[in-house]
A = this chain, B = another copy of it.
């Protein structure tokens, strides 16, 4: 039992055409665990930060029943800091700066309890770190991994090792094309599943998401958002909602994976509606389920009687 999340925790500077915000709590672990907190109590995180993380941030995570036992706070250390600016249509993000700081020394060591986790999410970090976590998990039932172009260009061999050992890879369409060297997403998916993961999800932003299994595909719609305030963390909120829903239901059938994709999409849609983590703070189950039902209405059709 248990869901463990390993990734980055950062203090972000985010600038969009609408607003800007500094010292915003970010990083993949933050978004994954917050989204997961609505389906799984005591999500366990493994991460490292400096003592510049505010008490408010720590309290916010605790308020969501996230288990911070595995959060190492280094006295005198500085948290990973990342700054970015989104262009006018929010589709392009320009990095302003990346200061790894204490994160450069991140060496994820899982507690005895964490090693026994049945579900794990490996956020978008160095494949070597992802492998280090996989080595420590004793008998995981379902492991979800994220990655990005950066690692495909620098650590492709290590990434391939990760792919052989995870159940589900979650990437976006441009990453899928790069990893497979195929433009057609359906061909790309076949190739990537051939690299190891039983399941693949390709996130397509405003066009929804595709889930690929063995000779079976599910196409999830995108939520019709007229205004996106901040895309930061949407992919992580997706992975967190998805994995924690699976953990909560303990059902790994393709039918349930479909629902998990829609719950992931639901959390991502809440995430982008507000700045930083604000969109996925303090939600309730009813709000989440209502939006899940909206997704169903959006894509449901019947055969003519």
Contacts and interface: CB of A to CB of B under 8 A. Distances in A.
A286 interface: no
Given A226-B184, A298-B217, A299-B218, A304 B256 contact: yes
Interface residues of A, number: 38
A302 B206 contact: no
Interface in A268-305: 292-293, 296, 298-304
Contacts of A218: 298-299, 301
A299 B299 contact: yes
Contacts of A208: 207-208, 219
A247 to B, nearest CB: 14
Given A296-B301, A298-B218, A183 B89 contact: yes
Best-buried of A207, A226, A227, A262 by chain B (most CB within 10 Å): A207
Interface in A225-249: 225-228, 249
A187 B302 contact: no
A299 B219 contact: yes
A218 B184 CA distance: 24
A293 to B, nearest CB: 7
Q: Is the interface of A mostly helix, strand, loop or mixed?
A: mixed
B299 A221 contact: yes
B186 A302 contact: no
A289 to B, nearest CB: 8
Given A207-B208, A219-B208, A255 B184 contact: no
A224 interface: yes
Given A204-B207, A218-B301, A219-B208, A187 B226 contact: yes
Nearest to A294: B217
A298 B211 CA distance: 10
11 contacts: A218-B298, A218-B299, A219-B222, A221-B299, A255-B301, A258-B301, A259-B302, A292-B303, A296-B302, A299-B301, A300-B300
Given A221-B299, A255-B301, 16 more contacts: A89-B183, A184-B225, A186-B224, A186-B225, A186-B226, A207-B208, A208-B208, A218-B298, A219-B298, A220-B301, A221-B221, A249-B304, A255-B302, A259-B301, A259-B303, A296-B302
Interface of A: 89, 183-187, 190, 204, 206-208, 217-222, 224-228, 249, 255-256, 258-259, 262, 292-293, 296, 298-304
**For the complex of A and B, 4 pairs with smallest distance between CB atoms:** A219-B221, A207-B207, A258-B301, A186-B224
